């Protein structure tokens, strides 16, 4: 059950850079403007083109398991519960 108003979520997602959040954990290489590639942090046997961040869309995609998401989803994939992922983002709002 999620009682968090979506405006709080939207504010957090709009206030942070997904790219900066991901880059704290993953080395990314920009191959075209706004397209950043790296090893998927979700899989141990991942190659350097398995994970991509679409900077403009604020979306990441994992090509190993075909998952994708936003910055909250990225932190939840790192093991944080939803509310802690949200709070992590809120601390990063500039």
> Residue numbers of the site for Zn ion (CB under 5 A)?
42, 62, 64-65, 67
Which of residues 60 and 88 has its CB atom nearest to Zn ion in the complex? 60
Query: Residue 77, Cβ neighbours under 10 Å: how many?
Result: 16
In sequence order, the 6+-apart residues with CB closer than 8 A to the CB of 89 are: 12, 13, 15, 16, 21, 71, 72, 75
Nearer to Zn ion, 12 or 37 (CB): 37
CB of 85 to Zn ion, least distance (A): 17
Of 43 and 92, CB closest to Zn ion: 43
Min CB(29)–Zn ion separation in Å: 18
- Least separation, in Å, of the C-beta of 16 and Zn ion? 22
Inter-residue contact 16 to 58 (CB < 8 Å): no
- The answer to whether residues 63 and 50 touch, using CB atoms and an 8 Å cutoff, is yes
């Amino acid at each position: 059950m999620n009682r968090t108003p979506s405006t709080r979520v939207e504010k957090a997602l709009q206030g942070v850079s997904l790219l900066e959040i991901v880059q704290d954990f993953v080395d990314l290489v920009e191959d075209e403007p706004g397209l950043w590639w790296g090893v998927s942090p979700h899989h141990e046997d991942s190659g350097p083109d398995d994970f991509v961040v679409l900077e403009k869309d604020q979306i990441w995609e994992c090509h190993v398991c075909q998952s994708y998401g936003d910055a909250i989803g990225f932190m939840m994939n790192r093991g944080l519960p939803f509310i802690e992922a949200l709070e992590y983002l809120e601390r990063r709002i500039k």
